[in-house]
């Protein structure tokens, strides 16, 4: 729809190379309104910067001959390529500069008109694409935040079950789970950035996604701590004492994380963390018995640190799960 509308409007306005505007409309159209807004601003900034630099190079370096044109091309593209490497917003700037420089062999007026034409094309395609994104089946980024955060929570639930299978954990499983969660977290943060852009431009009034992202990141760090603690099997006799409490804790935490995933997606209330609290209280009791019976006295420092490090990570996760419940309630109560 964005491509067709841009084509029709371009024909009505007499845009000479309307296909550039149509291409821009297709490029700007993204999965969410926030992503479309970012694509539009990036394309406008890159086109403006590349067009202006292309005009300067075309006006100052003669480029009618083959060798001089090659030199002008290097001068036009090299600094913009470096700029794009550090600032992704300008990644289309080298393309625009090339179009301005090589798309005309005239003097200064020809380069200026070429740059103006590109700005008109990009501006037309961007405006139409943003209007379509806003008015025709608009997709707000907060929905993607909830969906991708829910997926990350599900992966965390699966991961903790594998991590706390103390007697027979698969050594490769934590590594696979960690990579999947890292990728899921990257997608959550990307969607949160799009949501923040919508909030900044007053296109939505949903809760700020940053607190939710911070809570997910803390939960992920808890899992990383657990992964390090169980990178090797826990030593005996603590492992046997902790096996059943750890299994019950993993079951309760995984169930809560999956419930939080469903509640986020459905924007529904979330049950309390009482089940998790009871399971972790049992784990704490088992740890107290280990201390009372001095079962770590014969262990080396590294093994002792892993036993108590796992208990600390579970304690931290309990606090972060309570925080997650509050974040989910915020999303459920938003209009």
pLDDT band at 89 (very low <50, low <70, confident <90, very high): confident
Q: What does DSSP assign to residue 267? A: T
The DSSP-derived string for 92-159 is THHHHHHHHHHS--S-HHHHHHHHHHHHHHHHHHHHHHHHHHHHSS---HHHHHHHHHHHHHHHHHHH
Domains of the chain by start residue, with CATH? 2-135 (no CATH), 141-333 (1.20.58)
If we measure between CA atoms, which residue out of 247, 280, 111 comes closest to residue 168?
A: 247
What whole-number distance in Å separates Cα of residue 107 and Cα of residue 57?
Answer: 11
pLDDT at 308 over 60: yes
Task: Give the separation between CA 34 and CA 139, rounded to whole angstroms.
Answer: 9
Task: Provide the token pair at 167.
Answer: 């007697």
Q: Which two tokens stand for residue 310?
A: 């796992």
- Is pTM beyond 0.85 here? no
Give 137-178 pLDDT, tens digit per residue. 766 667 788 889 999 999 999 889 888 876 544 555 556 667
pLDDT digits (tens, 9 = 90+) for 13-69: 988 888 888 988 898 888 777 778 888 888 888 888 988 998 888 888 887 788 888
CA 158/CA 235 separation, integer angstroms: 24
* Mean pLDDT score of the chain: 84
Q: pLDDT-derived band of residue 295, with 50, 70 and 90 as boundaries? A: confident
The percent of residues above 70 in pLDDT, for the chain, comes to 91
87: three-class secondary structure by DSSP? coil
100-140 tens-digit pLDDT: 888 754 444 467 787 788 888 888 988 998 888 888 876 66
**3-class state of residue 166 by DSSP:** helix
Cβ-contact 12, 57 below 8 angstroms: no
């Amino acid at each position: 729809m964005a491509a067709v509308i841009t084509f029709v409007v371009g024909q009505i306005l007499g845009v000479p190379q309307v296909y550039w505007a149509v291409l821009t409309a297709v490029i700007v159209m993204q999965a969410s309104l926030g992503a479309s807004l970012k694509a539009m601003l990036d394309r406008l900034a890159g086109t403006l910067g590349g067009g202006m630099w292309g005009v300067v190079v075309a006006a100052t370096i003669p480029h009618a001959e083959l060798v001089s044109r090659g030199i002008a091309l290097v001068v036009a593209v090299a600094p913009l390529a470096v700029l794009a490497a550090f600032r992704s917003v300008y990644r289309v700037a080298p393309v625009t500069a090339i179009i301005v420089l090589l798309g005309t062999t005239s003097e200064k007026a020809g380069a200026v008109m070429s740059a103006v034409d590109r700005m008109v094309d990009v501006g037309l395609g961007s405006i139409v694409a943003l209007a379509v994104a806003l008015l025709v089946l608009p997709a707000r980024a907060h929905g993607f935040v909830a969906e991708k955060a829910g997926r990350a929570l599900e992966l965390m639930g699966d991961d903790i079950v594998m991590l706390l299978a103390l007697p027979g954990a698969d050594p490769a499983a934590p590594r696979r789970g960690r990579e999947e969660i890292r990728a899921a977290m990257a997608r959550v943060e990307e969607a949160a950035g799009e949501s923040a852009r919508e909030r900044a431009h007053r296109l939505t009034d949903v809760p700020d996604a940053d607190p939710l992202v911070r809570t997910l990141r803390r939960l992920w760090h808890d899992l990383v701590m657990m992964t390090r603690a169980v990178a090797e099997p826990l030593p005996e006799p603590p492992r046997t004492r902790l096996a059943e409490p750890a299994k019950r804790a993993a079951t309760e935490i995984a169930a809560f994380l999956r419930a939080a995933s469903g509640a986020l997606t459905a924007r529904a209330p979330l049950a309390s963390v009482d089940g998790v609290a009871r399971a972790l209280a049992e784990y704490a009791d088992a740890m107290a018995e280990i201390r009372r019976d001095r079962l770590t006295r014969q262990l080396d420092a590294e093994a002792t640190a892993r036993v108590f490090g796992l208990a600390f990570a579970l304690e931290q996760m309990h606090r972060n799960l309570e925080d997650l419940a509050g974040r989910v309630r915020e999303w459920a109560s938003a209009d």
